[in-house]
Amino acid sequence: MEKIDIAVIGAGIVGLAIAAEVSNGEKSVFALEKEDTFGKHTSSRNSEVIHAGIYYKPASLKANLCIEGNALIYEICEKNNIPYKKISKIIVASTESQISDLYRLYKNAKDSGVSELEMVNNVQIAKMEPNIEADAGIFSAQTGIFDTHLFMKYLSAKATQNKAQISYNSEVVEIKKTNQGYEITVLDSDNQRFSFISQVVINCAGLFADKVAAMVGIDIKTQGYELKFCKGQYFRVSGKSAKLVSRLVYPVPRPKGHSLGIHAGIDLAQNLRFGPDENYIDGNVIDYDVKESAKDEFFESVSKYLPAVKLEDFYPDTAGIRPKLQGPDDDFRDFVIKEEKELGLEGFINLIGIESPGLTAAPAIAKMVKGMIK
């Protein structure tokens, strides 16, 4: 049976970043992707924001890797002509009661080590964003947007240059630990199976990372690795509503919310869209439909801080699904990035629950994973 050094399962932004980072021409590296190209799931269905690291528990992987990844993304984009814009962001409190939440968030961000952050008052907000109605806000100069498709294209080219191979239409369906390494069985687009042995396996299967972990015999329930799909929809706005803001504007997240709230996002072409909302999907099915019926809820949410927006200007855009470790009533859960030595699975590295800020953190995650490989 053919033997390789490193198998990366999944070619989203995380799998690509890892394949590019761990390949150096010396080790044989294969990335296996079930779709016909890279980034067809969560990595192409998101806000494309380079987060600053404001929201996550200080010293968590989410906070640390986001802050490190933020600097790396800007550096990589700049060096490789990948379009990006350090457009900045304001998190706005539009009710009195949100102001204390805003201060808590500001302290959290400072404790995490986020830089270029400032509390701003209503006058300063009005100067920056005349259409925003808010009592106070947090201004983050470090937040930006980038072209995630070109970024993934760059990572895939870098991996290939480093002699890693990316194999599309290759769904991993079985993994067995053997004396020689991990025997991986792959199903191709003609329903043909082939198997090979890899010394190291890196599970970056996004929404299906828990299923891949289960393939090697991990009890995902006991380990707390079961994923819950949480959908986020977007609406675009046209007409006069499309030019109402010039930077990213976020509401204060709900205390137990599992998203950052329905924000005003601008893409690199300066188009405005709102989202994502937050809906757990029963039965973990892939459902990327945007429900027209959600329009009223979006309008109600957004008009609290952007009163000039018009309901008739909203139209459905895309949706993405967050691979969440926490259910609707659970507290903060961190990324799982772990070599499963304690389970007797040396060389098997799991990446589970890589939800936001996974795009921003991807290059830092790749460096961390490289450090785990002997």
Ligand X SMILES: Cc1cc2nc3c(=O)[nH]c(=O)nc-3n(C[C@H](O)[C@H](O)[C@H](O)COP(=O)(O)OP(=O)(O)OC[C@H]3O[C@@H](n4cnc5c(N)ncnc54)[C@H](O)[C@@H]3O)c2cc1C
Report, in Å, the least distance between residue 311 CB and ligand X: 22
**Candidate residues 144, 181, 206, 363; the one interacting with ligand X per rule CB under 6 A:** 206
In the complex with ligand X, the residue whose CB is nearer, 92 or 136, is 92
108-139 in b/e burial notation, b at 16+ Cβ within 10 A?
bbeebebeebeebeeeebeebbebbbbebbbb
DSSP code of residue 216: T
Which of the stretches 19-27, 133-141, 200-208, 239-247 binds ligand X when contact is defined by CB under 6 A? 200-208
Q: Which amino acid is at 190?
A: D
Which of the stretches 12-20, 92-100, 174-182, 250-258 binds ligand X when contact is defined by CB under 6 A? 12-20
Q: Does 205 bind ligand X (CB under 6 A)?
A: yes
Q: Does 19 bind ligand X (CB under 6 A)?
A: no
Q: Does 172 bind ligand X (CB under 6 A)?
A: yes
**Token duo for residue 26:** 């010396």
Closest residue to ligand X using C-beta atoms? 358
Contact present, 333 and 122 (Cβ < 8 Å): no
**Token duo for residue 244:** 């109402």
Q: Does 184 bind ligand X (CB under 6 A)?
A: no
Q: Does 353 bind ligand X (CB under 6 A)?
A: no
Q: Does 358 bind ligand X (CB under 6 A)?
A: yes
Distance CA 241, CA 311 (A): 9
Any alpha helices (H) in 117-219, and if so which ranges? 122-128, 148-161, 209-215
Nearest to 206 by CA among 371, 89, 5, 34: 34
Cis peptide preceding 307, ω within 30 of 0 = no
Q: Does 369 bind ligand X (CB under 6 A)?
A: no
Q: Does 202 bind ligand X (CB under 6 A)?
A: no
**Token duo for residue 292:** 């027209």
In the complex with ligand X, the residue whose CB is nearer, 246 or 318, is 318
Q: Does 349 bind ligand X (CB under 6 A)?
A: no
Binding positions for ligand X, 22-41, rule CB under 6 A: 32-35, 39-41
Please compute, for residue 314, the number of CA atoms within 13 A of its CA located in the half-sphere on the CB side: 26
| Contact characters 216-235, ligand X, x per CB under 6 A | ----------------x---
* # chain residues binding ligand X, by CB under 6 A: 42
Q: Does 321 bind ligand X (CB under 6 A)?
A: yes
**Token duo for residue 212:** 């891949």
Distance CA 344, CA 61 (A): 24
Q: Does 213 bind ligand X (CB under 6 A)?
A: no
Task: List residues binding ligand X (CB under 6 A).
Answer: 9-15, 32-35, 39-43, 45-49, 51, 171-172, 204-208, 212, 232, 276, 320-322, 354-360
